[in-house]
Chain A
């Protein structure tokens, strides 16, 4: 099964809709709660990052018997130093984003912890693509 969503730049109000819709689908499919939890934590964090740090993008989710693969691709500034970005506590979030309670530098570490595989492709000035896999078996 394949699902596609779009992420709008700076639109925090609707952020989380894709994660919420994926959660409903996984529930209907009878995926076990622990895997649903991992999936939605990772997807929400990636979605928020595309809103907060980039200029929006797309989400593609593929679900089969064995795994869930989520690809979040943004048109954004890219990540100059992935090792640094993966460190808990590192953040370049703007004042506005911090005021909302983001910017703890915990999003990418949360994604890493909650997925079985995380691939980050990033190009400065072009964008960032996160490929996140949750194994179901």
Chain B
């Protein structure tokens, strides 16, 4: 399923349009950055409540095409600017991690 389809199905707000046609086959959910660094795989989506610039730094290094921020949290300005530079799709869900993960799992399992 593509990022674009996931945005529609999960009713996500898109703050930086990038990688919309990327095919998503998996995701990783964690708010611990070294956990993501060690265990997320390239091409996966990342679901988190972290909103600072190190999120996009890690996404860029790990080739993570899209990040979903949960519970309606907004990315810091410099994170969003960095996402634009690095072409990382930034999405916001109003729902909490559990619900976002459950719905996404149903879509791409």
Residues of A whose CB lies within 8 Å of any CB of B are: 12-13, 15-17, 19-20, 23, 33, 37, 40-41, 44-45, 48, 100-107, 109-110, 113
B53 on interface, CB distance cutoff 8 Å: yes
| Per-residue contact bits, chain B 77-94, to A (CB 8 Å; 1 contact, 0 not) | 010000000000000000
Which residues of chain B are within 8 angstroms of A48 by Cβ–Cβ distance?
Answer: 33-34, 54
Interchain CB contact (< 8 A) of B34 among A17, A20, A45: A45
Nearest residue, chain B, Cβ from A91? B34
Residues of B whose CB lies within 8 Å of any CB of A are: 31-35, 37-38, 42, 48, 50, 52-54, 57-58, 60-62, 78
Q: Given that A16-B61, A23-B61 are known contacts, is A100 also in contact with B54, CB under 8 Å in the complex?
A: yes
A-B contact count (CB 8 A): 67
Which residues of chain A are within 8 angstroms of B42 by Cβ–Cβ distance?
Answer: 33, 37
Tell me if A110 and B78 are in contact (CB < 8 A).
Answer: no
- Sorted nearest first, the 4 A-B pairs with minimum C-beta distance are A16-B57, A106-B34, A104-B32, A110-B38
Q: How far is the CB of B17 from chain A (nearest CB, A)?
A: 22
Q: How far is the CB of B50 from chain A (nearest CB, A)?
A: 5
Q: How far is the CB of B87 from chain A (nearest CB, A)?
A: 13
Q: How far is the CA of A122 from the CA of B31 in the complex (A)?
A: 30
Q: Given that A13-B78, A37-B42 are known contacts, is A102 also in contact with B34, CB under 8 Å in the complex?
A: yes
Q: How far is the CB of B25 from chain A (nearest CB, A)?
A: 17
Q: Given that A37-B42, A100-B50, A101-B50 are known contacts, is A106 also in contact with B35, CB under 8 Å in the complex?
A: yes
Tell me if B38 and A20 are in contact (CB < 8 A).
Answer: no
Q: Can you list 23 A-B contacts with CB-CB less than 8 angstroms, sorted by A residue number?
A: A12-B52, A13-B53, A16-B57, A16-B61, A20-B57, A20-B61, A37-B42, A40-B61, A41-B37, A48-B33, A48-B54, A101-B33, A101-B48, A102-B34, A103-B32, A104-B32, A104-B35, A106-B35, A106-B37, A107-B34, A110-B34, A110-B38, A113-B38
